[in-house]
């Protein structure tokens, strides 16, 4: 019997850890979000959705492959 491997599709999208320019809050956002992403602390817009990849309006601290 063949062992079934769990298929985890490699996402083309990425998660970004960004730093809010206004309040320095760091949070993880999805770079291909379909809606505007706001800072959880001060509600500043951190990402605006675009064609495919969104426009990040915050400082990118690092890119992540998953939440963390």
The contact set with Zn ion (CB under 5 A) reads 20, 22-23, 25, 39, 41-42, 44
| Among 19, 14, 29, CA closest to 58 | 19
Specify the residue, 35 or 65, whose C-beta has the smaller distance to Zn ion: 35
In whole angstroms, give the CA distance from residue 17 to residue 4: 34
Tell me how far, at minimum, the Cβ of 18 lies from Zn ion, in Å.
Answer: 10
Specify the residue, 11 or 36, whose C-beta has the smaller distance to Zn ion: 36
In whole angstroms, give the CA distance from residue 12 to residue 21: 26
Tell me how far, at minimum, the Cβ of 45 lies from Zn ion, in Å.
Answer: 10
């Amino acid at each position: 019997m063949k062992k079934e491997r769990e298929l985890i599709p490699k996402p083309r999208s990425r998660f970004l850890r960004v730093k809010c320019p206004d309040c320095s809050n760091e949070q993880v956002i999805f770079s291909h979000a379909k809606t505007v992403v706001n800072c959880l602390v001060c509600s500043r817009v951190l990402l605006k959705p675009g064609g495919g990849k969104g426009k990040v309006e915050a400082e990118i601290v690092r890119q992540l492959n998953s939440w963390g």
